[in-house]
């Protein structure tokens, strides 16, 4: 009997495969084909690139807490097709005009034995990748316990993956790992894969709203499955009525820089919901910040208190003198004394320490044209923050503040949310309740015409298109890790970020450290550890190059004013470089090795919209880059103001050695420059 059923099973399998329906849609340039099928009566999709398999048949579906799963006995049916080719404008960004060009296919997977049970999947295929999302019918209240979406990468034995661990203690603040694809564990997205052929793939998501963030979990050879961050009750996502998921995105290119030059995640987000956003301003800032990280000042009260009225006014004067828009002040409000990471429930968002007078500093700032940049550290106390959020915003608005940096320092599944029954729950940064909090924070801020820069936030998924007041996030290891309280970021960190974290959106990395000889920070309340090498693994030129390579509409000059005053020639580049761009072109590079990016400034305020900038950063290896300047405008001449490493520059022994030279160039010229190990290159092409 057993073998009879076995044989019958094989026959059924053969029949269902033979009768499987395959429905495809290709990219406008036909290089990418996305196919839905019901082979084996499963809901499946696959992707071909240049006529070869890229994503092998991969499952789609769900399981629920108290409902039948949606994962087999499916038949697929075409519902609709649609094509789009238009352009839209970003109010600020790395690229002012974005083309949204795709072919769309919507299919419905219906259960063979129960036509009432179905879901649809909408796929959009662009020339540089695909996005698809589930669209679920109303099934009342449901709790998702598993999203079965798989990504079965072909030729996995010839693929290398670049990734950070998902759902772990330090949120997104990890060093990138380079492993064989088949050695991945649980990884955050953007998750980048490089093939021996040069094909590069990045898996991520777009428009993460009222859902849990997706990590990728390795199943077997080349096969990864979505793993959503759980809620504190152990389920993944609570939904009521019809809903759709975020878009699952697969960006595809022939070389590493194609990933950077893709805008599919922004295209898949909804247009601006805030209307006129002329109150959202990109810009540059300094702050009472690095001083705390290196132990010179403290956040909390006492003789080292950083956020004093007197110091803020001094920093504002420095900002005005050198053309910065704002001064960030951390530690001005009550709650920092003692172990501030553990004391999330005592933060006040309205009461200042006695030595900080918000009225006085903002009135002074107004006179000299410098804004105070607000700060809300929550230490993960979400409910404590939400209770005070509006009064905190109102206070800032009253004093003319335009931007707030927020923070959620707390380990792993440790964001504190009081539920509807008054019970304190502990949630992951990328869980559904936290995702909703971050969006609520940004939407509420918009009511007060405030913009937000979220630290320790869930990853970016392109929501800046919908909420342009969400200027930047951290969500990775930033410069702060070089301050002394941790092992510093290794030399390859920035060439890793460029092809991974930065694919998600702007990062508040906080570049521009000019003095590498500071003492070990010891009052930050963070893990201090041993006194081994604790400083940026960097040359001075690399610190400048970061302003071009790491895109953010708000860039900090992170070091202390006196350290900029000590190196005025290098500081000039930070003063010149814009943070809002007409156009961006990632030109050359390899994941984790090096990256070369050119950007054209946007015509805006004091920028005439004619200059180009270039940034290049290498890993721990010195290398010479050869860059044709054919991105420059035809018929124009430029003065190239070049800030580069010298042959003597050595990040350990001679990091500040830098040549600043000026040359006349046109688009017919080629730049040949040697980057020192852990070095970089920054260029302003000033239109003549």
Q: In angstroms, what is the minimal distance from the CB of 124 to ligand NOJ? A: 34
Nearer CB in complex with ligand NOJ: 409/671: 409
d(Cα 294, Cα 337) in Å, to the nearest integer? 17
Q: In angstroms, what is the minimal distance from the CB of 560 to ligand NOJ? A: 14
d(Cα 444, Cα 434) in Å, to the nearest integer? 15
DSSP 251: E
Which residue in 173, 205, 330, 480 is the catalytic one?
Answer: 480
d(Cα 645, Cα 321) in Å, to the nearest integer? 28
Nearer CB in complex with Ca ion: 103/479: 479
Nearer CB in complex with ligand NOJ: 507/548: 507
546 interacts with, out of ligand NOJ, Ca ion, none, CB within 5 to 8 A per kind:
none
Q: Per-residue x/- mask for ligand NOJ, residues 275 to 294, rule CB under 6 A?
A: --------------x-----
Nearer CB in complex with ligand NOJ: 299/685: 299
129 interacts with, out of ligand NOJ, Ca ion, none, CB within 5 to 8 A per kind:
none
Residue 249 · residue 122 · CB < 8 Å:
no
Phi then psi dihedrals of residue 130, to 5 deg:
-130, 155
d(Cα 83, Cα 201) in Å, to the nearest integer? 24
Which of 413, 324, 338, 333 is closest to 370 using CA atoms?
324
Which of 265, 224, 172, 71 is closest to 457 using CA atoms?
172
Residue 248 · residue 205 · CB < 8 Å:
yes
**Do β-strands 283-288 and 554-556 pair in parallel, antiparallel, or remain unpaired?**
parallel
**Does residue 480 have an active-site annotation?**
yes
Nearer CB in complex with Ca ion: 328/629: 328
**Do β-strands 214-220 and 200-206 pair in parallel, antiparallel, or remain unpaired?**
unpaired
Judged by CB under 6 A, the number of residues near ligand NOJ is 8
3-state secondary structure of 82: strand
Q: Per-residue x/- mask for ligand NOJ, residues 453 to 482, rule CB under 6 A?
A: --x------------------x-----x--
d(Cα 554, Cα 126) in Å, to the nearest integer? 29
Q: In angstroms, what is the minimal distance from the CB of 480 to Ca ion? A: 6
**Do β-strands 451-454 and 403-407 pair in parallel, antiparallel, or remain unpaired?**
parallel
d(Cα 47, Cα 422) in Å, to the nearest integer? 47
Q: Per-residue x/- mask for ligand NOJ, residues 224 to 263, rule CB under 6 A?
A: ----------------------------------------
Q: In angstroms, what is the minimal distance from the CB of 79 to ligand NOJ? A: 45
DSSP 480: G
Nearer CB in complex with ligand NOJ: 147/330: 330
The answer to whether the peptide bond before residue 190 is cis (omega within 30 degrees of 0) is yes
Q: In angstroms, what is the minimal distance from the CB of 460 to Ca ion? A: 14
3-state secondary structure of 530: coil
409 binds ligand NOJ (CB under 6 A): yes
d(Cα 470, Cα 190) in Å, to the nearest integer? 19
Nearer CB in complex with ligand NOJ: 111/579: 579
377 interacts with, out of ligand NOJ, Ca ion, none, CB within 5 to 8 A per kind:
ligand NOJ
Judged by CB under 5 A, the number of residues near Ca ion is 1
Q: What ranges make up the beta strands (E) of 475-528? A: none
Question: Which residues in the 78-97 window bind ligand NOJ by CB under 6 A?
Answer: none
d(Cα 255, Cα 645) in Å, to the nearest integer? 27
Q: In angstroms, what is the minimal distance from the CB of 292 to ligand NOJ? A: 6
Q: Give the number of other CB atoms < 10 A from CB of residue 666.
A: 16
Nearer CB in complex with ligand NOJ: 460/474: 474
Which of 189, 194, 197 is closest to 179 using CA atoms?
194
Q: How does 378-400 read in b/e, with b if 16+ C-beta sit within 10 Å?
A: bbbbbbbbbebbeebbebbbebe
CA distances from 608 to 94, 269, 319 (A): 16, 30, 22
Q: How does 11-31 read in b/e, with b if 16+ C-beta sit within 10 Å?
A: eeeeebeeebeebebebeeeb
Binding segment toward Ca ion, per CB under 5 A, in 116-124, 139-147, 276-284, 451-459: 451-459
Q: Can you tell me which of 42, 94, 128, 377 binds ligand NOJ, judged by CB under 6 A?
A: 377
330 interacts with, out of ligand NOJ, Ca ion, none, CB within 5 to 8 A per kind:
ligand NOJ
Residues whose CB is less than 8 angstroms from the CB of residue 5 and which lie 6 or more positions away in sequence, other chains included: none
Binding segment toward Ca ion, per CB under 5 A, in 230-238, 449-457, 591-599, 659-667: 449-457
Question: Which residues in the 537-596 window bind Ca ion by CB under 5 A?
Answer: none
d(Cα 226, Cα 217) in Å, to the nearest integer? 6
Question: Which residues in the 452-481 window bind Ca ion by CB under 5 A?
Answer: 455
Q: Can you tell me which of 330, 402, 580, 645 binds ligand NOJ, judged by CB under 6 A?
A: 330
Please, what's the largest Cα pairwise distance for the chain? 90
Which of 87, 109, 107 is closest to 98 using CA atoms?
87
Partners of 327 in beta bridges: 286, 372
DSSP 489: P
Secondary element (H or E) of residue 497: helix 493-497
Residue numbers at the binding site for ligand NOJ (CB under 6 A): 289, 330, 377, 407, 409, 455, 474, 480
Residue numbers at the binding site for Ca ion (CB under 5 A): 455
Q: Which residues are catalytic?
A: 480
């Amino acid at each position: 009997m057993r073998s009879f059923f076995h044989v019958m099973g094989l026959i059924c399998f053969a029949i269902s495969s033979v009768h499987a329906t395959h429905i495809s849609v290709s990219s406008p340039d036909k290089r990418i084909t996305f196919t839905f099928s019901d082979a084996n009566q499963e809901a499946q999709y696959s992707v071909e690139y240049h006529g070869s398999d890229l994503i092998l048949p991969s499952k789609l579906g769900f399981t629920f807490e108290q409902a039948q799963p949606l994962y087999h006995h499916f038949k697929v049916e075409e519902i609709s097709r649609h094509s789009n080719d238009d352009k839209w404008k970003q109010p600020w960004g790395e690229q002012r005009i974005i083309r949204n060009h795709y072919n769309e296919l919507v299919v419905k997977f219906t259960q063979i034995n129960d036509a009432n049970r179905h879901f649809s999947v909408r796929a959009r295929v662009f020339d540089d990748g695909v996005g698809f999302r589930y669209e679920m019918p109303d099934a009342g209240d449901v709790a998702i316990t598993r999203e079965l979406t798989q990504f079965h990468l072909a030729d996995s034995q010839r693929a290398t993956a670049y990734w950070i661990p998902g759902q772990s203690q330090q949120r997104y603040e990890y060093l990138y790992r380079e492993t064989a694809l088949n050695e991945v564990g649980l990884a955050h997205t953007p998750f980048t894969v490089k093939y021996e052929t040069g094909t590069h793939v990045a898996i991520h998501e777009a428009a993460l709203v009222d859902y849990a963030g997706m990590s990728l979990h390795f199943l077997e050879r080349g096969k990864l499955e979505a793993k959503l961050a759980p809620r504190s009750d152990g389920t993944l996502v609570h939904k009521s009525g019809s809903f759709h998921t975020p878009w699952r995105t697969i960006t595809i290119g022939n070389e590493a820089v194609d990933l950077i030059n893709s805008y599919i995640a922004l295209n898949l987000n909804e247009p601006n919901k805030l209307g006129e956003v002329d109150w959202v301003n990109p810009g540059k800032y300094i702050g009472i910040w690095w001083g705390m990280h290196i132990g010179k000042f403290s956040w909390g009260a006492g003789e080292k208190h950083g956020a004093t009225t007197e110091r803020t006014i001094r920093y504002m004067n420095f900002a005005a003198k050198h053309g910065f828009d704002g001064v960030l002040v951390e530690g001005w409000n009550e709650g920092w004394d003692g172990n501030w990471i553990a004391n999330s429930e005592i933060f006040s968002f309205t009461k200042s320490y006695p030595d900080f007078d918000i009225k006085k500093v903002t009135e002074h700032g107004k006179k000299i044209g410098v804004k105070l940049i607000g700060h809300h550290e929550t230490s993960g106390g979400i409910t404590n923050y939400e209770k005070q959020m509006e009064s905190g915003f109102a206070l800032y608005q009253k004093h003319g503040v335009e931007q707030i940096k927020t923070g959620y320092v707390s380990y792993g599944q440790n964001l504190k949310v009081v539920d509807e029954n008054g019970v304190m729950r502990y949630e992951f940064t990328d869980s559904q309740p936290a995702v909703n909090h971050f969006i609520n924070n940004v939407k509420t801020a918009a009511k007060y015409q405030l913009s937000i820069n979220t630290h320790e936030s869930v990853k970016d998924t392109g929501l800046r298109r919908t909420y342009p007041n969400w200027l930047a996030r951290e969500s990775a290891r930033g410069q702060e890790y070089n301050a002394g309280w941790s092992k510093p970021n290794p030399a390859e960190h920035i060439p890793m970020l460029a092809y991974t974290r930065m694919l998600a959106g702007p990062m508040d990395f906080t570049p521009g450290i000019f003095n590498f000889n500071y003492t070990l920070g010891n009052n930050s309340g963070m893990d201090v550890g041993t006194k081994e090498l604790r400083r940026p693994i960097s040359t001075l030129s690399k610190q400048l190059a970061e302003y071009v390579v790491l895109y953010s509409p708000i860039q900090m000059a992170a070091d202390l004013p006196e350290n900029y005053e000590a190196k005025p020639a290098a500081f000039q580049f930070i003063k010149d470089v814009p943070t809002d761009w007409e156009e961006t072109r990632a030109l050359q590079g390899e994941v984790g090795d090096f990256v070369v990016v050119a950007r054209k400034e946007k015509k805006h305020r004091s920028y005439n919209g004619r200059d180009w900038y270039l940034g290049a950063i290498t890993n721990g290896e010195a290398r010479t880059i050869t860059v044709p300047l054919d991105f420059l405008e035809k018929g124009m001449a430029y003065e190239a103001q070049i800030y580069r490493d010298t042959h003597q520059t050595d990040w350990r022994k001679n990091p500040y050695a830098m040549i600043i030279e000026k040359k006349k160039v046109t688009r017919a010229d080629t730049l040949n420059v040697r980057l020192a190990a852990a070095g970089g290159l920054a260029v302003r092409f000033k239109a003549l």
